[in-house]
Chains A and B, each alone.
Chain A
Amino acid sequence: MKRDNRNINRREFAERLAGGAAVAGISALALQSGGCASQQRVQKRNEQYSCKWYPFSEHPISDSCWSLSVGPDGRIYIAACAEGTPGGVVKVVRYNEKTDALDYLFDADKMVNDPRDSGRATQCKIHYSFAPSMHDGVMYMATHLSGPPIDQPAYSPWRSWHDPKRCFRGSALMAYDTQRDEVLWWDTLLPKEGCRCLLHDEERGLLYSLTYPRDHFVIYDIEKRERRDIGRIGSINAQVLFMDKKHRIWTTSDDGRLIRYDPEKDRLECSPYILPHNSNFQTGWHSVFYDAINAPDGESVFALTWIANPYLMRIWPNEGEWGRVEDLGPATQPRDPTIPLDTFLDHSGGLTVAGDRQVYFVASRWRDPVYNPLPESHKEREGVVWRIDPETNEKEEVTTIERPDGFAQYVSRGAVDRNGDLFFGSVGPPHPVGIFKVTMPEHRKRTNAHLPIRMWG
């Protein structure tokens, strides 16, 4: 099919934005080295943290890793997504600490009987939708849409909404038993729509989700296998849900306000204020949550927004009627406000708490002629690992993650495994994408560092 410059699909969009390895002058030699050279460089720069890259070599068309979470068993579960290739599907992967390699667990399309060559939009990814269940060792996983049918170059959920041959069948919810290594059961969580993000309220046996494209807030009763659509939030889609001590579920609206579901009232409520943003050129619009993690104190949450020039904030949801929000400022570098930069370049994610009870996340950094004139010898873009001391909220750069065959500025999610090491999911060309492992300094590790576990994707 002949296509011109104006019509690009999601994969091309990401590739154009990321620029590709050629832009950075990354050599084939670096590719062959398997990341050793970059690993050594990282270690030289910082003796304490070391980084290693694990490509999805058994899923060569994988272009994005949207989900990376620690399971109830303390191991790292990963979604190797393929949203840009017609007929692409997600493979669920797990890091094997004994072999220091990735184990490929299953293909989602086969597991939920929605084959990649069906002609419909495919089960191409799991998008911030891993949610653990501690009492039975299950990891819940819900799929998302956007991967085109096998004979189409792109997929629009709006265009195919009423097309029974093309329309995405729906987000498939899988209950994966991490002890027996099998999917115990699956169900269609959200007909026709994808699951943007998932949260498990284990005490009440409920899964909370946001749908895409309609941005509805849906509750799924695990025991009854029933869903209930509570309402529509907006058009943009927040990328995360979090839960407070009162079992209230929090997310954000299109204009950057807090949205809260209170089970006692069975209502979706909206905060009277807008979350922190850059008032120089932002209004709060699109300052939806990208990532959120419980602080070690158990009383507050660190959160990042999903807009270029994302903001870092700390929220105490249990204080007062609408909680207390502390603005921790922009997570990324200054930039030219006349350009609407994209969220692939100007991005921050991967919030997690490590065994040292410090908060970690990754923020992008890139060459800018005015604000960050990196030399040509330096990579044009990189991901910077930051550590936040929750006692003081002070932020410190601890290392950079380096991908030998491309850029590493976009990290989707982060997690700490039971041994106390950090893992980050990566998005961007070239294929296959993969994950980073950041080995922590010994004194910052502890056994079962993943506990208390994060209950949302």
Chain B
Amino acid sequence: MSETKPKRSPRDIHHGAFTSEGRLVAFPTCFPGASVPITADESLITALDVSMDGDVYGGTSGKQTHLFVGMFRGITGAVFDMAAIKDAQHCAAVCCGRREFAAFVNGDKGGRILIHRLQGLPFDLIQEWGFRRSPCEEIGVIPDGGRIIHAAPDLSRQFAVGVSEGHLFVVNLEDKSFQLVGAVKGRGRVGVGSEENFYGLDTKETLWRFHPSFPYVGTPCDPSPKRRMDGCGPTMGERSTIRFALHSGLRRKPVRIR
């Protein structure tokens, strides 16, 4: 029996491990030659998102959380450490809006939601540049010191939906408002599906669904006949204890109906 020759070349194995499509950027967490990288024990990258312009925003975990942006377009090629967040050691997610991005961080006092302006392109990273740090704005705190598990932006980048250990919440990236919208013991990541649906798991392995325009938090995969499977009305059962009254756009006030 003849031996089968491997089909992959050493080059495919080495470089193919990183890119099979698209583009890989391997870069230190700094502007090489002009700044130092984020401190080693503060630089574990645990959150990433890409803005509509193609810049990469991220957050780190470790002794202290940092928020950073990586710019690899135009006359750029740098990572800028935008902010070191006091009393935060974990970044659960970053979500880019159109002008700002939200960072979802955790510390000893629980989860917080921060808003920071997107970074403008520096003039020219070959010749002359300019970076200034601007402050973060804290727009929300998870009640009772709960930790944020994850968050994800909608496709239009107008808002983000997140979960904590006990709540589902929405952050409006346009007007920088934060709102608790449901009681969910979040677990794992928030997924964005079609037609503006957000999905996630809770600690009971139940899949939940959230649609920002419909006044319910649904559990479409729950086989219980007491609960509605579609998104046409308020969900019945224990998870349907919160309803929103829609005012305009995303501005709504939760109304407890049971």
Q: In residues 46-68 of chain B, which contact A (Cβ within 8 Å)?
A: 53
How distant is B165 from chain A, measured CB to nearest CB, in Å?
A: 32
In the complex, what distance in Å separates the CA atom of A172 from the CA atom of B128? Answer: 24
Q: Are A286 and B130 in contact (CB under 8 A)?
A: no
Q: In residues 26-51 of chain B, which contact A (Cβ within 8 Å)?
A: 30-36, 38
Is B120 part of the binding interface, using a Cβ–Cβ cutoff of 8 Å?
A: yes
In the complex, what distance in Å separates the CA atom of A337 from the CA atom of B31? Answer: 10
Q: Are B36 and A337 in contact (CB under 8 A)?
A: yes
Q: Are B130 and A283 in contact (CB under 8 A)?
A: no
Q: In residues 171-203 of chain B, which contact A (Cβ within 8 Å)?
A: none
Chain A residues whose CB sits within 8 angstroms of the CB of B170 once the complex forms: none
Q: Are B35 and A340 in contact (CB under 8 A)?
A: yes
Q: Are B128 and A285 in contact (CB under 8 A)?
A: no
Is A17 part of the binding interface, using a Cβ–Cβ cutoff of 8 Å?
A: yes
Chain A residues whose CB sits within 8 angstroms of the CB of B154 once the complex forms: none
In the complex, what distance in Å separates the CA atom of A338 from the CA atom of B123? Answer: 19
In the complex, what distance in Å separates the CA atom of A163 from the CA atom of B42? Answer: 49
Total A-B residue contacts, Cβ distance less than 8 Å: 70
Q: Which residue in chain A gives the minimum CB-CB distance to B130?
A: A342
Q: Is the contact region of chain B dominated by helix, strand, or loop, or is it mixed?
A: loop
Chain B residues whose CB sits within 8 angstroms of the CB of A7 once the complex forms: 121
Q: Are A6 and B133 in contact (CB under 8 A)?
A: no
Q: In residues 11-30 of chain A, which contact B (Cβ within 8 Å)?
A: 13, 16-17
Q: In residues 128-183 of chain B, which contact A (Cβ within 8 Å)?
A: 128-133
Chain B residues whose CB sits within 8 angstroms of the CB of A57 once the complex forms: none
In the complex, what distance in Å separates the CA atom of A284 from the CA atom of B80? Answer: 19
Measured as residues with beta carbon below 8 angstroms from the partner, the interface class of chain A is: 20 to 34
Chain A residues whose CB sits within 8 angstroms of the CB of B30 once the complex forms: 281, 338, 340
Q: Are B123 and A340 in contact (CB under 8 A)?
A: no
Chain A residues whose CB sits within 8 angstroms of the CB of B128 once the complex forms: 13, 342-344
Q: Are B53 and A6 in contact (CB under 8 A)?
A: yes
In the complex, what distance in Å separates the CA atom of A312 from the CA atom of B229? Answer: 72
Chain B residues whose CB sits within 8 angstroms of the CB of A343 once the complex forms: 128
Chain B residues whose CB sits within 8 angstroms of the CB of A281 once the complex forms: 30, 33-36
In the complex, what distance in Å separates the CA atom of A6 from the CA atom of B123? Answer: 9
Q: Are A340 and B127 in contact (CB under 8 A)?
A: no
In the complex, what distance in Å separates the CA atom of A286 from the CA atom of B34? Answer: 9
In the complex, what distance in Å separates the CA atom of A17 from the CA atom of B130? Answer: 7
Is B25 part of the binding interface, using a Cβ–Cβ cutoff of 8 Å?
A: no
Question: Looking at A16, A281, A345, which has the most chain B CB atoms within 10 Å of its CB?
Answer: A281
Q: Which residue in chain A gives the minimum CB-CB distance to B121?
A: A6
Given contacts A13-B130, A342-B130, contact A282 B34 (CB under 8 A): yes
Question: Looking at B33, B36, B118, B131, which has the most chain A CB atoms within 10 Å of its CB?
Answer: B33
Is A328 part of the binding interface, using a Cβ–Cβ cutoff of 8 Å?
A: no
Interface residues of A (CB under 8 A from B): 5-8, 10, 13, 16-17, 235-237, 280-286, 307-308, 337-345
